[in-house]
Amino acid sequence: MLAKRIIPCLDIKNGQTVKGINFLELKDVGDPVALGRRYAQEGADELVYLDISASMEGRRTFAELVTRIAANINIPFTVGGGIASVEDAGRLLKAGADKVTVNSAAVMNPQLISDIAQKYGNQFIVVAIDAKQIDGVWRVTTHGGHRLTERELFSWAREAQDRGAGEILFTSMDHDGTKNGYPCETYARMAEMLSIPVIASGGAGSIEDIAEVLTVGRADAALAASIFHYGEIPIPKLKQALHEQQIPVRI
């Protein structure tokens, strides 16, 4: 069995790692290169950096940051935030990112997934999906969960895979930030349906939550932010606990 991955997520604004709630009340939590290096030393398997700066100046700053990250970190890292074209993706891959992630732009223009996959390969593209339950149906949202679409979670995940996505990063907007655990039945259904890896995001509040989504939820990886940034669950402690539960992880 492949090892399960632990992936810290770092939101970047104007070159700094920030953390807030729904992108509000943002606080600096550290230099993204130093923080990434620390997580790598602690045993993180991969990192995700998301650019939440809206301006073109922010885009340039982010590309420069990606170059610095690539020069200083020895584990794979994925970058995203505002990627709306093959050119956007190419600029970040050329700067040294291992993968790119697309979300809202792909919902609005699904061909973007196909175009990036055809140009760079499936292994370079992660499709992030934010969804919430409306009357028992998982509906896809965009713009950080603020805009509801007509798309349904499972059909969109399958389409993303068919168009060339190498991985799916699914966040339940109902669980994000609650620290009450993941919707494991939903992850298990997605893992059963897809042939590509599924990354679980949003809801981790304890080691038990992460263990459950990696076993009952059948997720291939768990992504989290606050619990790592604020030292609530150190990565070595998390991995040791997972190992003791016979969950395959790289120690």
Q: Which residues of 91-130 are buried (b: 16+ CB within 10 A; e: fewer)?
A: bbbebbbbbbbbbbbbbeebebbbbbbeebebebbbbbbb
The 8-class DSSP code of residue 2 comes to P
CA 223, distance to chain mean position in Å, is 6
Give every CB contact of residue 34 below 8 A, 6+ residues apart in sequence: none
The residue written with tokens 């992660």 in the block is 126
Q: With CA atoms as reference, report the closest residue to 185 among 228, 210, 216, 151.
A: 216
Question: CB 236: neighbour CB atoms within 10 A?
Answer: 12
Q: Burial level of 149, CB count in 10 A (0-12/13-18/19+)?
A: middle
Residues involved in catalysis: 11, 130
- Provide DSSP, 25-73: EEEEEE-HHHHHHHHHHHT-S-EEEEE---SHHHHHHHHHHHHHHHHH-
Question: H or E element: which one contains 192?
Answer: helix 184-193
User: For residue 133, what are its two tokens?
Assistant: 């339950």
Q: From the CB of residue 132, how many other CB atoms can be counted at a distance below 10 Å?
A: 18
